[in-house]
A and B are shown apart, each in its own frame.
Chain A
Amino acid sequence: MTEILPFLKELISAPGLSGYEDPAANIIADKWRPLVHEISRGTLGSLQGLRRGTGKEPRPSVMIATHMDAIGLMVTGITDGFLRITRVGGVDVRVLPGTPVNVYATGAGATVIGASRAATSTGEPNVRLPLPGVVAQPSAQLLPEDARDGPVALEHLFIDTGLLPQKVSELVRVGDLVSFAQPPAQLSGETLTGHSLDNRASVAALTVCLEELQARPHVWDVWAVATSQEEVGAIGAAGSAYQLRPTIAIVVDVTFAKGPGASDWSTSPLGKVPTIVIGPNIHPALHKSMKELADKLEIPYTLEYTPSHSGTDGWATQVAAEGIPTLVIGLPLRYMHTAVELVALKDIQRAGRLLAEFIAKLEPDFMDKIVWDK
């Protein structure tokens, strides 16, 4: 069993919706602090850890970006004690009815269980006891005619906390966040299921990489970045890429694993990792280097094709400032954006080790050797 499991389980048990990543950021910061030389938060919330390389200054740098934010819901209002909701990130409304959730209430009457650890002094976020609830789908007669049969739209769903309306008004405010309440569970074949594995599984892979690098010298500087707000437009990655101006960027994100309803060309099997992406978002020289390394190490990777948008932070890093050569690698994951996402733990380990290997092998003149066309 892998040692990354306790960290990953703790990480996906914490909230950290897009724009409100502090709880996740704090856990990651605690884990990374002994593994990097410096740690800080970017303006838009990304956690940025620097491992200095051994090369002569000025050293080239590689930024590894894995987003730490998760999708969820937000309270837009209260009607008779029931919470009205909107989505934060790409939530499929069809997986919502009957789903257990946690409401992170911030009203004056909500319980505070103490200040949380902050990575740097960006303020004092309070951790509130979450209120348990369920996403309620009203019965047909309470819905408009044309909304009774098919999936019920978000504007007609509520969250019921079981509390009485008076109490709800004291505890809950417009803007409060709601995440899935599904606890992590280990399934057969060394797999892990839970919510927010998109993309905390990749954060775990990056953590494995940092652990490996403790014993491997590397010439290049390494920026390990747990980006914010990827699910709402790669906002954190754009800001971090602009601020840090790395020489190259490698984005690690989950990708579609083969499974029920997902078997076509855009899906990849568990166990053959990582996926190495090809497409306009990817610098061909970086793809080639990673692929050649994986071939040399006899790692059973998969090639992943993205004809245009890669759907990841890489779309932002590639066009930051004067442009940053970008590579995207993927971790296959089933049931993406549900409360029961599924990954293989060995895949996380393998991806992390390959990343470390790639970084350790980066030579000082790698960029000079890049040839676009023969």
Chain B
Amino acid sequence: MKQLIQKLTETFSPSGFESAIREVIKQEVQPLADEVRVDALGNLIVRKGAKAKNGKRIMLAAHMDEIGLMVSHIDENGFIRFSSIGGIRTGGLLSGRVQFTNGTQGLIGVERDLFAVKSPTFSQYYIDVGATSAKNCPVKIGDVAAFKRPFLELGQRLVAKSMDDRIGCVVLIEALRALKTSPHELYFVFTTQEEVGPRGAATSAFGIDPEIGLAVDVTLTGDTPKSKYMAISLGKGPAVKIKDTGMLADQHIVEWMCSTAEKKRIPYQREVLDGGSTDAMAIQMTRSGVLAGCLSVPCRYVHTPSEMVDYEDVQNSVKLLVALISAPVNL
């Protein structure tokens, strides 16, 4: 699984431009799927199984897009100004390495003296790709880039950019691989444009019209020095989301997830997130409404170039997801 995590996190696909990651994931899921299709917004939809008498139509969603930068201007000396795709933290920009989807690499510089006390504003940053004029710059307005960082193993802890939400994509792929039988009609959806919306989840959910929707995404932790309070830590198991800023998970879905984890003796944590939401928010609001929830992988340093998860948490996330979708659902 670690190699798969590395492969996915080292692909460059910011929101709206997911073709590269879609190809990578398609290779993985094609041999495992009953049906694979791509919809109008680029969502990759994998169907597995048919609905038995006691089964349901269940949509699982992990977003394959990542946050990134889009070129907004190239000045006469070849320096590139950019706007953000998704929630980019200004504080994490300086000296970042980036790679454009056309392969061009660069670094992020800033207008002011690097050692100035006052923190620069977003518009004072620029990307330097080594060009010397607008004419010999290998990128143009509208081109997109993501952070470039190699995958790193630190014992049980894994670090990479775009753990949010390639780790969710891995959990979906591995669950699909490990699944033996299920009474349900399952849709494993690798969604687009979550970081700017969610957008892909809304349209793919409309197309599928599921009875139950479960997002698999990262959530924050409260276990680093002087962090904002949160009762979630790395290494204590996947989290069952009860509430975040965008939605209240359906109470029966929460109950179903917690009791399944308890029955299978999978460690889990109860999650209330203050800040951020997931594809589940969009799925819940589809058509007449969908019973929705979210299985969260705890993650430190979300939306920075070095996001960290615990490998055992990831394995337990896969275990929990397989347990959930293998058995009939009584809500």
Contact = CB atoms under 8 A, between A and B. Distances in A.
What 6 A-B pairs come out closest when comparing CB atoms?
A239-B289, A19-B248, A77-B231, A243-B288, A175-B242, A44-B289
Given A88-B248, A175-B243, 12 more contacts: A19-B248, A19-B249, A19-B250, A20-B251, A76-B229, A77-B229, A86-B272, A123-B331, A173-B270, A175-B242, A235-B289, A239-B285
B189 interface: no
Contacts of B284: 44, 235
A173 B251 CA distance: 14
B248 A229 contact: yes
19 contacts: A18-B248, A44-B250, A44-B284, A74-B242, A74-B243, A77-B222, A78-B231, A79-B229, A86-B243, A86-B272, A123-B252, A123-B331, A155-B228, A174-B231, A174-B242, A174-B271, A235-B247, A239-B289, A240-B288
Contacts of A79: 229
B264 interface: no
B261 interface: no
Interface residues of A, number: 30
B289 A175 contact: no
B229 A84 contact: yes
Interface string A226-261: 000100100110111011000000000000000000
Contacts of B229: 76-77, 79, 84, 155
The DSSP consensus for interface residues of chain A is: mixed
B230 interface: yes
A235 B274 CA distance: 19
Contacts of B272: 74-77, 86, 174-175
Interface of A: 18-20, 42-44, 74-79, 84, 86, 88, 122-123, 155, 173-175, 229, 232, 235-236, 238-240, 242-243
B254 interface: yes
Contacts of A88: 243, 248
B288 A122 contact: no
B257 to A, nearest CB: 12
B251 A235 contact: no
A168 B229 CA distance: 19
Interface of B: 222, 228-231, 242-243, 247-252, 254-255, 269-272, 274, 284-285, 287-291, 331
Contacts of A232: 247-248
Contacts of B230: 76-77
Contacts of B250: 19, 44
A175 B287 contact: no
Contacts of B243: 19, 74, 86, 88, 175
Contacts of A43: 288-291
A76 B269 CA distance: 12
A238 B285 contact: yes
A155 B254 CA distance: 24
Contacts of A20: 248, 251
B285 to A, nearest CB: 6
Contacts of B285: 235, 238-239
Contacts of A84: 229, 231
A243 B248 CA distance: 20
A185 B228 CA distance: 39
A123 B247 CA distance: 21
A175 B270 contact: yes
B288 A242 contact: yes
A365 B288 CA distance: 28
Contacts of A243: 287-289
A74 B250 CA distance: 15
B274 A76 contact: yes
A287 to B, nearest CB: 28
A238 B287 CA distance: 8
A236 B289 CA distance: 8
B331 A76 contact: no
A251 to B, nearest CB: 18
Of listed B228, B231, B284, B289, residue having the most chain A CB within 10 A: B289
Contact of B231 (A42, A76, A123): A76
Contacts of A239: 285, 287-289
